[in-house]
Structure 1
Amino acid sequence: MRFEIKQRRLLSLSLILIFALSVPAQQTRIEQSAPNVERLRSHITYLASDALEGRRTGTEGANKAAEYIAREFAQYGLIPAGGSLSEAHTGASFQKFPFVAGVELGRTNAMLFTPSAATSGATAQTRATSLDLRLQEDWMPLGFSMNGRAENLSATFVGYGITASELNHDDYASADVNGRVAIALADTPDGDNPHGQFARYADVRWKAIAAREHGARALMVVASEENFRDERLAKLSYDNSAGDAGLPVVIVSRQSAQRILTTGGLAPLADLERAARERISSTSSSAAVAVGANQAHKPLALPLQNVSLTIAVDIKRREVPAMNVIGILEGSDPQLKTEAIVIGAHYDHLGRGGSGSLAPREGDIHHGADDNASGVAGLLELARIFSAKRARISRTLVFIAFSGEEEGLLGSSFYVNHPVVPLEQTVAMINMDMIGRMRDNKLIVGGVGTATEWRDWIGMANFKAAPGGLVFTTPDQPNGPRHPISELPAGASVNGSIIGTPKFTLTLNEDGYGPSDHSSFYAKKISVLFAHSLFHRKYYSLN
């Protein structure tokens, strides 16, 4: 998607300043309207200090970082969202969004499978055939499971439980799971091949969505590991980007699944797995071409006989405060100030490790100086510089320090669904993430294909940011005086020669999506730019 941006001056100035943030470390000059190395260093030093303990979303360290950013915004005279300068005591709004810091098991989790004889008989002997599965040894609820009790339900085995319309495949095509428990194999028939045709459906969330959309009351996933203690899904965790599954979802050991399936009259688990793989792998064979796609994708859906399942899930979620920090610099143009440009950077990091970390152990502070104290330092410097130039600012600038980026773009996703300036009045978003470790003057800028003007503007800004800036000569004196491009009258064009050397070696990427907060805006059809320096070996590590 490409969008058109109709005013040039402010965005060009933004690009020049963002490029200028990557100044040499030895610079000591202090100017009100230029990036200052000592200020940048001071911001990063505090944000990456031990006192903030890695700024994991929802922790005290992250809250301290948010308060620090708000104080800086106040110092620059930014307006809180919905407020005015006379009301601004913090200089920022704390836009809170839902965040679950952890999950634990409640007291009423239970799973029982019962052959029909035990439901109709009255003797102790028949009742003994019911099996009460052991929590954490035979089964576990998943952290994103809906709480609730599904009692005495019939069940259907649905192969891998995948619905993939683009592959003409639906494991539920011939299955009636309405009001029943869907039993699905973990992973996909591609195994651990990350490039397989079903790779994107390996995430159990897709299985839960498919089960729910086909009317299942609960989903039982069969573990892939022989030893249940080694099963990844059996380790209770919560993914904030997934939300509630909308139905109870549990993982069951292979031994328990074998007993349930065979008691229900089906083949042993290994045979069912082989049949499920063979049905899908046949789609790539010459035989599949001969019989046609519909036959090749014939699903493996088998109802269990004379067996009922009861599943009760009780997950306790620990919700904690999480927030974006927002400060507004109102535009000076009476007409254009109703439109906004968002300038953003996320301030959260990985805390003391765990999920997302490349460190071998959990517990040590991940300081996140580059990811993304560097981007926040750039955000604060831009807020300071633009506040000193507010008379030149036509459109409104919305400065946002996002939280929850490392957890799945939570803060930016929340913002685009609850914007302080309507999205139809937001003309662009510029995102800075990991801009602190430049090597050989190389800079990556993503999103240049999201607006027709970006590529030319970036090229011009790259020249203007260089030492000496961009100069021009007049046609009558091609070898004469060189004039700064800033001396060119508004609306005039250069008839002579433009001379300059670019500051950076740029890598320009067209795509507006990527693993940072600009993606949330591009998904809402807003033009974006994403500035970052190269990845490095200390990324997501302790150093």
Structure 2
Amino acid sequence: MKSLCVSGLNSAMVLSGLWALLAVVCSPAAGVASEATKLAESKVRIQQDVGVLAGDEMEGRGVGTEGLNKAAEFIRQEFQKAGLDVTRVNGGAFQTFSLPTGTKLGEPNSLKLISPKGEELVLEKGRDFEVGAFGTSGKFAGEAAFIGYGLEDKEAKYDDYAGIDVAGKVVVCFRRTPGQGQKDGPFSPAKGGGRQGDLRSKIVAAMAHKAVAILFVNDPYTLADKERIREAAIKKAEGKVVTSAEQLADASSEDQSAKLTALKDAVTQFRRSRDAATSPVDELMPFGYAAANDGESLPAFHLRIDFLNQMLRSVGSANAVELAEEIDATMTPRSRVLTGWKAQGEATVIRQSADVHNVIGVLEGEGPLANETVVIGAHYDHVGRGGSGSLAPGSTDIHNGADDNASGTAVLIEVARLLAAQPKKPARRVVFMAFTGEELGLLGSARYCKEPIFPLDETVAMLNMDMVGRLQENKLTVFGVKTAKQFEEWLREGNKTTGFELIEKPEGFGPSDHSSFYTKKIPVLHFFTGLHPDYHRPSDDTDKLDLDGMTRVATLVNEIAQVVINTPARPEYVEVKGSANVMRSGNRPYVGTIPDFGVQEPGYAISGTAPGSPADKAGLKPGDLVIEVGGNKVTNLDDFDLALRKFKAGDKVDFTVKRKTETLKLPLELAPPR
């Protein structure tokens, strides 16, 4: 057969021929298996692959787990079986780099309170206090100061730091926010509240006011709520005992055995509820609660509320519950120095990291376009056993991530098989890549774009699959259809075979790995079947996948890939303004920056800006390092997010950035949330 990539051929004629060839190859007349048979075989392979990737032995494919390494090796083996070259990264398939995986508690850890009379209260870890993994290591000593909820919020006109100097002091504050029982209070969900009360936000505020350490105590509202829940559980269990006893008394001789068993179960549950009520309501956050942070921090501890009350009483103050009630009623802070009281201690928090791998397999091209590259990718990591990445609060169950993104990875492997099985070599090189670190911020794709194994200026397109396992109402969303002039036509033509109801999105920027490539001005297509209630929860399992839908996605990606790979004219890049968001950012104003997670320097590094965005208009550029937003210090992405939440759309805010050897202040007008 003559090569379809002969120079001088009319592109339209070649494209028409490609679609015709695909139709012929897939027909029974071509002497191959029927389309139905091939689809059935493809479905079986996809089912097997996704079953392995989303199995419990993969431990949720979390960064730092052995399961993630097992998944990487499985993908490498399947790439090799498909006929890909898995030796192109220093003789292997793995592009390896290191990522932070969390923290562990070292030694020593200590905390003591010193009264105005010089008496020392030496506290016991695990009983009186716990160390926060979200804090940092270090020794500290300073006068104690109570700062309410430790909040600064201009929009709510609430500032626990107003009128008090905490420089050099150890601050003590409640967790969460004031007015939690108020449906329309300034920190209620209706007003976009909640994020202001997170632990990192309070640490950032304490650092800004030059505190040397922070001691958290449980807020009285939460403690009272826990007490109410306990009392309700005891009453419910007690009622069950009474009901079961009455049913046993009235039971016939045939039913007495079953009713007696029910009564015993009810008594057991009552005893459990009663015993639970004897444990302290004022529970300490275990080490590891909340995510560790790679930015600047303070030594952080969780202290039992009784010790705060002891300090408050000695300085003639109302107790913690009374102060919280006053704050809730008036929305007026009650901060004060705890005159004469000192806190002294040490925390040892050890940051951990692990090597992770992008898995790369290559199908070399043949002919005049062989040095050009098409990337086809999907991320294979997930959130492990939950933690900060989970939407099931407190869950430590394995999150198998069947849809996110074992589905995309299984489709990637199948597309590799389909393309490698073609009778003729592709015109362009095809790089199949299973990315790691996507759940932590597109880290794997960002690393490849920073250290590509083939030149990015010769990379003509990137196709990405992320969450393609839950086809609903036959609707397939495809992002990036306007990022190349030809994509719209190619997508619609290719879909004639698969018959999806396409939801076409023009933008090239969005919350998956294609964004890293579009930042480099590479046209992208991203395939997505939609969100669902199991997203980032342990319930995202294989029994809920639509295998037929996944098989059709693989067919569509394969057909479009063949056209992208073999058409003589490379896709023509188009700059599309805006960013596609799968989920809204809540009450945070929109800026339009694209993070660069490969930079280790303190600050928020950006790899680019969305065209036409506030960041673009303000003059932010790739490589800039944001170190301050509106007077708020920024040491990492979390700080950047928290700083933005202090402002609203329409506010003009100064962004301080480091650009090579310069430090610039760029005024930026914030846009409404997206």
Indicate the residue corresponding to 2:65 in structure 1.
59
Deviations 1:415-446, CA, capped at 9 Å, x for gaps = 37954379985787543222123243222335
Q: Secondary structure at the match of 1:97?
A: strand
CA RMSD for the aligned pairs?
4.6
Indicate the residue corresponding to 1:305 in structure 2.
339
Indicate the residue corresponding to 1:457 in structure 2.
487
The worse-fitting range, judged by mean Cα deviation, of 431-440 and 221-230 is 221-230
Return the offset for 1:237. 1.6
The whole-number CA distance in structure 2 between the counterparts of 1:359 and 1:28 is 43
Indicate the residue corresponding to 1:259 in structure 2.
310
The whole-number CA distance in structure 2 between the counterparts of 1:239 and 1:524 is 34
- Cα distance change of structure 1 residues 522 and 61 upon mapping to structure 2, 3 Å threshold: same
Return the offset for 1:112. 1.0
The whole-number CA distance in structure 2 between the counterparts of 1:417 and 1:178 is 43
Q: Is the 8 A contact 2:364 2:370 kept in 1?
A: no
The whole-number CA distance in structure 1 between the counterparts of 2:324 and 2:88 is 55
Determine whether 1:116 maps to 2:116.
yes
- Cα distance change of structure 1 residues 411 and 80 upon mapping to structure 2, 3 Å threshold: farther
Return the offset for 1:113. 1.1
Q: Is the 8 A contact 1:416 1:521 kept in 2?
A: no
Q: Is the 8 A contact 1:442 1:504 kept in 2?
A: yes
Q: Is the 8 A contact 1:342 1:398 kept in 2?
A: yes
- Cα distance change of structure 1 residues 79 and 323 upon mapping to structure 2, 3 Å threshold: closer
Determine whether 1:135 maps to 2:125.
yes
Return the offset for 1:310. 0.9
- TM-score, with length taken from structure 2: 0.55
Return the offset for 1:189. 2.9
- Cα distance change of structure 1 residues 533 and 323 upon mapping to structure 2, 3 Å threshold: same
Q: Secondary structure at the match of 1:420?
A: coil
Aligned pairs (5 A) from 1:146-161: 146-151=136-141, 153-161=142-150
Return the offset for 1:513. 7.0
The whole-number CA distance in structure 2 between the counterparts of 1:412 and 1:251 is 35
- TM-score, with length taken from structure 1: 0.66
Q: Is the 8 A contact 1:349 1:368 kept in 2?
A: yes
Determine whether 1:210 maps to 2:261.
no
Select which of 293, 296, 308 maps to 1:242: 293
Determine whether 1:272 maps to 2:323.
yes
Letter in 1 for 2:312: L
Letter in 2 for 1:66: A
Q: Secondary structure at the match of 1:311?
A: strand
- Cα distance change of structure 1 residues 106 and 171 upon mapping to structure 2, 3 Å threshold: same
Q: Is the 8 A contact 1:35 1:381 kept in 2?
A: no
Aligned pairs (5 A) from 1:23-62: 29-30=37-38, 36-49=42-55, 51-62=57-68
Which residues of structure 2 form unaligned runs of 5+?
1-10, 27-33, 182-187, 227-278, 544-674
Q: Is the 8 A contact 2:171 2:211 kept in 1?
A: yes
Indicate the residue corresponding to 1:5 in structure 2.
none
Letter in 1 for 2:54: A
Indicate the residue corresponding to 1:77 in structure 2.
84
Indicate the residue corresponding to 1:323 in structure 2.
357
Return the offset for 1:320. 4.2
The whole-number CA distance in structure 2 between the counterparts of 1:423 and 1:171 is 53
The whole-number CA distance in structure 2 between the counterparts of 1:229 and 1:530 is 50
Q: Is the 8 A contact 2:170 2:213 kept in 1?
A: yes
Aligned pairs (5 A) from 1:165-180: 171-172=160-161, 174-180=163-169
- Cα distance change of structure 1 residues 166 and 368 upon mapping to structure 2, 3 Å threshold: same
Q: Is the 8 A contact 1:266 1:304 kept in 2?
A: no
- Give the % identical residues: 34
Q: Is the 8 A contact 2:291 2:387 kept in 1?
A: no
Q: Is the 8 A contact 2:364 2:426 kept in 1?
A: no
The worse-fitting range, judged by mean Cα deviation, of 374-383 and 162-171 is 162-171
Select which of 161, 179, 189 maps to 2:178: 189
Letter in 2 for 1:115: S
Q: Is the 8 A contact 1:99 1:240 kept in 2?
A: no
Q: Secondary structure at the match of 1:65?
A: helix
Q: Secondary structure at the match of 1:160?
A: coil
Aligned pairs (5 A) from 1:379-390: 379-385=412-418
Return the offset for 1:80. 5.8
Return the offset for 1:219. 1.5
Q: Secondary structure at the match of 2:189?
A: coil
The whole-number CA distance in structure 1 between the counterparts of 2:471 and 2:369 is 39
- Cα distance change of structure 1 residues 56 and 50 upon mapping to structure 2, 3 Å threshold: same
Deviations 1:448-501, CA, capped at 9 Å, x for gaps = 6xx5558x834751342222xxxxxxxxxxxxxxxxxxxxxxxxxxxxxxxxxx
- Cα distance change of structure 1 residues 417 and 210 upon mapping to structure 2, 3 Å threshold: farther
Which residues of structure 1 form unaligned runs of 5+?
1-7, 119-126, 283-298, 468-501
Letter in 1 for 2:115: P
- Cα distance change of structure 1 residues 274 and 400 upon mapping to structure 2, 3 Å threshold: farther
Deviations 1:137-196, CA, capped at 9 Å, x for gaps = 332111122112112x01333333234567676544544332222323211235274343
Determine whether 1:223 maps to 2:253.
no
